[in-house]
Amino acid sequence: MNVIDKNDIKKKLLQKLRESGWADKLKLFILGKEMDQILDRLINDSADGKLFTPKLKQVFRAFEECPYGKLRVIMIGQDPYPWVHDGERDRKSTRLNSSHVSESRMP
């Protein structure tokens, strides 16, 4: 079993977020206990084979893709498409590119 170093994850995340301007804004949160709790949950769920999207390594990717200086609106939601498709949660809601969307129709 691989040992996951949460401090290493936090350090790498802060490095990734420097270019987009989020590192300074999120530093106290990322280095705090609440982030530890989030990482524990994500790591445990992943190890237990639970499905969630985006993948663990991409959970904070939105902060890389949207520079802090260009931010205009934040929309927060949960389970925009909560149905099951082909035995697996439909992942269309997290697609980064329309070319990745499957041909199946939404109910």
Residue written as tokens 């949660």?
Answer: 89
20 or 49, which is more confident: 20
- Predicted TM-score of the model (pTM): 0.63
Nearest partner of 42 among 11, 7, 6, 12, judged by Cα: 6
| Average pLDDT score, the chain | 77
For residue 99, pLDDT beyond 70: no
Phi, psi of 26 (to 5 degrees): -105, 0
Q: Which parts of the chain fold into alpha helices (H)?
A: 6-18, 23-30, 33-47, 61-65
Give the model confidence (pLDDT) of 60-79 as tens digits.
Answer: 888 999 999 998 887 776 65
